[in-house]
Structure 1
Amino acid sequence: MTGDERLPRARELSTWTTRRWLRVGVAVSLTVLALLGATGAWILGRTASISDSLVDVKSPALTTSIRLESALLNQETGIRGYGLTGTPDFLKPYHQGLTEQKTYIATLSELLQGDRAGLRDLKAVQSAVQEWQERIARPIAASPAGVPSPLATERAAKGKTTFDQVRRSMATQQDGLRADRVQARADLATTMRLRNWVFSAIAVLIAVLAGVVFEALRRCITTPLERLGADARAVADGDFGHPITPTGPADLRRLSGEIDVMRQRLVRELDFSEQARLRLDEQSTELQRSNTELEQFAYVASHDLQEPLRKVSSFTQLLQRRYGGQLDDRADQYIDFAVDGANRMQTLINDLLDFSRVGRVHHAHQSVDLNSVMKRSLSALSVSIEEAGAVITRDELPTLVAEPTQMGMLWQNLIGNAVKFRRPQETPHIHVSAVRDGALWRFTVTDNGIGIAPEYAEKVFVIFQRLHTKDAYNGSGIGLAMCRKIVEFHGGTIFVDPEYTDGTRITFTLAGEPAETSLPSTASEETRSGAQPTA
């Protein structure tokens, strides 16, 4: 094969996939093994056939022939003794020999089926025996007992000649059977030697085939996979510029190419991520600057803005007290508007400052008994609770790791809202429950108030979002937004239960390790007409 002819062949082999290589290798291996197996099976069958022939035919035939000869000798001895003495006891070996003769001849006829030479020798023996029996044995056996048979004397020479022919036939038969047995043994030995050579060759070929398969797997699969794995580990260790070298069959080369494409895309993504990180650092710096400005604004709002606001509020109140009723009704209304606006602005600024401090001004978390926090919150709300005649019940609350001040703000806002947004002419009933939910505690604040429509379930948690006018319900619209910020700062969630329709049910979770692992026992307390709550 010339170089020009080998090049297309090499190109064709280079397009073979691992599956194709495996199929071809398995097909070739199975073909070789099938041929070797067929050869081995033929050798084993040949060995078994010769062995069976030797054991089941040749040796038994020779043994039977010897026994047949012994039976014929017994007949001859019996006939000769009876002919010379006339004693009937001599006929017993003769008759026994006849019986054995029939048995042995039948056995030889069965054993020598398909052996023409053996059947021919058996037929010659039968002819010689039949001639001797017709001419000598039967006539003498038919002679009267008690006296010597004259035929024995007359035919003595003839009988000897006839029986010698029987002996020669038997000798010829036995020589042929011995020769067949010797030949069978020689064939068996030759076949066994051939069997040993064949199986040795099979073992050598299997070993060679295993070596070829192992080397082919190493070169075509194992080594390319190891090289691919080494390249992939180099990339995984951070050397993203390390190329993936395609080697091996076509599918492994395609896999290497796909991994290299992925590496290149990863490099591009990392470059983009690095640029994004740089931009994020810039934005973080800008955010820190903005937070600093917000903190400065909070300081200004808490000091500089409140000072002129207090002055406006003080002078408008002074104007109201001194000149109230001295001017016309419209002037009194304007003064009332100014006083109310200044007070609401004061409340709004304070609430906004409290909201901004959640999550920004960090206090040390500590073990907080929510029962004590609840007691302080109810004490702070005692006036509004007494005015509304509210009935408050609660479960035993757990002890959590939290920020105490923010927990107080949380309970005060939730209970305060439940008391504020009550139905006219109806006594407010508020229940606080707490149950363990895995690693969290799940709390609910349930009331029989005016409720929250499902479409406003998210809107109520947005800062400054109000569902009612300030004339219907006072407030700044910042309470539930502050509750959400406190709950999320403590690793929980808060939402309005849409399935509860008899009022409002606020559900929220808090993370923390309770002081006791058992669930709290349920206790209840009532606060009516401003009575102080008890734990």
Structure 2
Amino acid sequence: MSTIQGTRGILQLDYELLRQQLLAANAKLAKTRQTIKAQENELEYLTSSNKELEEFAHITSHDLLEPLHVITGYSQLLRKRCGAGLSDEGNDFLTHIIEGTQRMQQLIRDLLGYARVEDSNVKLESICLTEIIKTIKQNLKLKSEQSNAQIHYKGPVNIKANPVQMLQLLQNLIANAIKYRKSSESPHICINVSEEERHWLFAVKDNGIGIENKYSERIFQVFQRLHPKEKYEGTGIGLAICKRIVEKHQGKIWMTSTPGKGTTFYFTIIK
């Protein structure tokens, strides 16, 4: 009899322990469901916000660009028809107006480009890197000829990536290498691609003016400029766009540089 009672006691303890474990598991499951629901709501909110941001960017860019086109157009017309009658100071004022509106137009276009990358869903497909480089060379032909730039590519012919974004990414980096060249030396740009276990590793190396390593993270932020606009044109958005494109491809981007000797930009993209 005592053996049966002992067995019942053990079973009751086991049952109680199991019941407590089930209650704890149910509580944990309920909490997990709440967390998932909150994350789903947050994702839905962010998706809606991104869509609204994209629409806002398109509308705003159009509304802002239109009056700038008018200002630029009439300023250029004024110079053409009345420039001879203006004083040197008046012509200088007119130059500042035209250049200022052109910089603002480019800034708005770059912001819109950044918004498009931010909102886009990356669709990977097989692309020919040699054709991408060929297109970039054609797009940058004038700048390359003016600076006597040499662009070389070494790596695989085909990989999987988004063709539009890959073109923009590499073109931004190559254009930067041409822009920030040394006055005493023609740009020499080498693009090397190597295969890793899960990623492709790109290296875009130049022999330009270089960047101090303390700016290695800052340069990938929006509106970050290390040089005055009078010396180097640009809006400070190009590398931020590069960073977002790389992140869209589940990779990362970084740089190493020696001032006066050149810079190498590295980035990875998922295979």
Q: TM-score range by the shorter chain?
A: 0.7 to 0.9
SS for the counterpart of 1:431 is strand
Higher strand share: 2
CA distance in 2, matches of 1:510, 1:289: 27
Q: 4+ residue stretches of structure 1 with deviation over 4 A?
A: 218-223, 275-280, 283-289, 498-501
- Equivalent residue number for residue 356 of structure 1: 115
Q: CA deviation at 1:289?
A: 5.0
- Equivalent residue number for residue 73 of structure 1: none
Q: CA deviation at 1:317?
A: 0.8
Matched, 1:476 2:235: yes
If asked which structure has higher relative contact order (CA below 8 Å, sep 6+), I would say 2
Identical positions, percent: 36
Unaligned runs of 5+ residues in structure 2 are none
CA distance in 2, matches of 1:437, 1:371: 20
- Count the aligned residue pairs: 270
Contact kept, 8 Å, 2:201 with 2:266, in 1: the verdict is yes
CA distance in 2, matches of 1:510, 1:278: 30
Contact kept, 8 Å, 2:252 with 2:268, in 1: the verdict is yes
Unaligned runs of 5+ residues in structure 1 are 1-210, 241-265, 513-535
Matched, 1:346 2:105: yes
Q: 1:224 aligns with which of 10, 13, 38?
A: 13
Please, what TM-score do these two structures have when normalized by structure 2? 0.87
Alignment of 1:70-89 (within 5 A): none
- Equivalent residue number for residue 457 of structure 1: 216
- Equivalent residue number for residue 400 of structure 1: 159
- Equivalent residue number for residue 291 of structure 1: 50
Matched, 1:270 2:28: no
CA distance in 2, matches of 1:432, 1:359: 25
Q: CA deviation at 1:287?
A: 4.2
Contact kept, 8 Å, 1:320 with 1:336, in 2: the verdict is no
1:24-45 residue CA offsets vs partner (Å, 9 max, x unmatched): xxxxxxxxxxxxxxxxxxxxxx
- Equivalent residue number for residue 381 of structure 1: 140
Contact kept, 8 Å, 1:367 with 1:401, in 2: the verdict is yes
Q: CA deviation at 1:379?
A: 1.1
- Equivalent residue number for residue 313 of structure 1: 72
CA distance in 2, matches of 1:487, 1:288: 20
Change in Cα spacing, 1:362 to 1:287, as seen in structure 2 (3 Å) is: closer
Q: CA deviation at 1:363?
A: 6.2
The amino acid of 1:376's aligned partner reads: T
Higher helix share: 1
SS for the counterpart of 1:467 is coil
- Equivalent residue number for residue 325 of structure 1: 84
Q: CA deviation at 1:431?
A: 1.1
Q: Which has the larger radius of gyration?
A: 1
Matched, 1:440 2:229: no
- Equivalent residue number for residue 300 of structure 1: 59
Matched, 1:366 2:125: yes
Q: 1:491 aligns with which of 247, 250, 265?
A: 250
1:304-328 residue CA offsets vs partner (Å, 9 max, x unmatched): 3222221111111111122223111
- Equivalent residue number for residue 413 of structure 1: 172
The amino acid of 1:353's aligned partner reads: L
1:197-222 residue CA offsets vs partner (Å, 9 max, x unmatched): xxxxxxxxxxxxxx98xx97x67767
CA distance in 2, matches of 1:438, 1:377: 28
SS for the counterpart of 1:324 is helix
CA distance in 1, matches of 2:223, 2:168: 17
